[in-house]
Amino acid sequence: MNYCNIAATSGVQTIVDNLLPELPGIHGSVIVAKQAHILYHENFTSHGNMKTDKNAQHLIASVTKNFTSVAILKLLSVNFGEDIDYALNKPLSGFLGKDHPIWQGIMPDFARGITIHHLLSHTSGLEAIDKPLLHTPGTRYHYSNLGYVLIGHIIQSLTPEPIDVYYKRVLFDPAGMHDTFLVVSGIPVSLKDKPDFAALRPGFKKDGLKITKVIDKPNFGTLFTAGGMISTPIDLVRWQNALYQGHVIPLKLLSGMTNPIIQKSGFAFYDGEGPLFSGYGVDIVGDGVTKIYQYCGGTSGY
């Protein structure tokens, strides 16, 4: 990472200084970058002894979905080549057979109608494995963590290596992300003695003025590929830079991933103007000339 010239940095500083009064009680890091150039990076601690710093690791929750989208697209490209559209529209039953443990002995009927495309775009209608679909797949938007958990099981079915190792090899290492990991089991406190997570900061909850640490939640096994990643601000900048320059997946695949598919409703955390659309693990807003990509995440304590 490089730090940009003083003029550019001071301009961002002015913008941030004007925005911060609208965000009372901010706790964490704010980072602004242009490609590999860091224009602004500051840390804010508003919770007494709940200290953090600019290089701290945090659970990034549903931002994991951005990585999971890239992971499955890369794997489908390797396995299906030019037939990737066929793979994206192939039913789940073609990847997770009736004997797969996720079905617990009974493969639901929806597995024959829902596709990876539906899962990636939150249009599957999935609420729970043992419940009816909320709508016909592909017809409406409904945010689904389960959909991205199923994508993780598809990834694991297509690669012989453990899924956390696969993420490191094909996503984190090419982007130069040295402090980022997919965690697939345990809870945050179970990581405290592991060197890779020395910079992990505990989550917290607020009850009025009382602030307490949250170290026994969430369960990484439940979050899995829908929200089980840990990262740092700098690593997330590295990811964006590598992804959008085509260093992780070809730009043709990236174009498909960032194509607006369906207008979002709920779970948007968006205060801008104009409609917000879902792509694959990314939200898109634009006026036909300029596109803005975003995603957000939150989980117990974070």
Asked if residue 247 and residue 207 are part of one domain, the reply reads: yes
Asked if residue 143 lies in contact with residue 267, where contact means CB atoms within 8 angstroms, the answer is yes
- Using DSSP, state whether 145 is helix, strand or coil: helix
What pLDDT score was predicted for residue 50?
Answer: 65
Both tokens assigned to 78: 């390797």
Q: Are residues 63 and 142 in the same domain?
A: yes
Both 127 and 183 in one domain: the answer is yes
Q: Are residues 29 and 126 in the same domain?
A: no
- Mutual orientation of helices 145-158 and 64-80 as an angle, nearest 10°? 40
Same domain, 116 and 190: yes
Cβ pair 52, 79 in contact under 8 A? no
Q: Give every CB contact of residue 85 below 8 A, 6+ residues apart in sequence.
A: none
Asked if 82 and 200 count as a contact pair (C-beta separation under 8 A), the reply is no
Q: Between vectors from CA 149 to CA 144 and to CA 154, what angle results, nearest 5°?
A: 125
130-139, Cβ contacts within 8 angstroms, sequence gap of 24 or more: 137/110, 137/113
| Claim to verify: residue 63 and residue 130 sit in the same structural domain | yes
d(CA 90, CA 222): 25
| Same domain flag for 112 and 24 | no
Do residues 126 and 24 share a domain? Answer: no
Is 21 in the same domain as 67? no
H-type alpha helices, the chain: 6-19, 64-80, 84-88, 116-120, 145-158, 163-167, 220-227, 233-244, 251-257
CATH number at residue 198: 3.40.710.10
115 and 192 within one domain: yes
10, 47: one domain: yes
Question: What is the number of alpha carbons within 13 Å of residue 150 lying toward its C-beta?
Answer: 29
Q: pLDDT tens per residue, the chain (302 residues)?
A: 444 444 456 688 888 888 877 777 777 888 999 888 899 898 877 666 666 788 899 999 999 999 999 999 999 999 999 999 999 999 999 999 999 999 999 999 999 999 999 999 999 999 999 999 999 999 999 999 999 999 999 999 999 999 999 999 999 999 999 999 999 999 999 998 999 999 998 887 777 777 777 778 899 999 999 999 999 999 999 999 999 999 999 999 999 999 999 998 755 555 566 788 999 999 998 766 778 898 888 887 77
- Both tokens of 68, joined, read 């999971």
| DSSP sequence for 209-266 | TEEEEE-S---HHHHHHHH-EEE-HHHHHHHHHHHHTTSSS-HHHHHHHTS--EE--S
- Looking at residue 28, its pLDDT comes to 80
Instruction: Give the pLDDT of residue 216.
Output: 84
What's the domain count of the chain?
A: 2
Structure tokens at 246: 């085509």
Do 254 and 149 fall into the same domain?
yes
Q: Which domain, by its residues, includes 18?
A: 1-53
